[in-house]
Amino acid sequence: MSKEFVREWLIENNFMGKEGQEVPAMSDEWVSTISHRYIELYEKITGEKFIPEDLRKEKLYEKVEAALLGIGY
């Protein structure tokens, strides 16, 4: 399992990560495919079932900020 498939898709859609480029729009189906692969990877690495949380946008931002600041949540 790797994220190479995402890189390949980006390259196929003329995105090379160069300054000034915008990431091409991804269909809901493609985002779902990516999500399922990363969930599968999470479960293989941790040995735990991934349980998604339905978070309000504000709560999600709080959790991301806490993780980035290394303070946990």
Cβ–Cβ contacts within 10 Å for residue 10, how many? 16
pLDDT of residue 72: 58
Whole-angstrom Cα distance, residue 22 to residue 5? 18
* Tens-digit pLDDT profile for residues 22-48: 999 999 999 999 999 999 999 999 999
> Residues 6-10: what's their mean pLDDT?
91
Count of domains observed in the chain: 1
**Domain range for 37:** 4-69
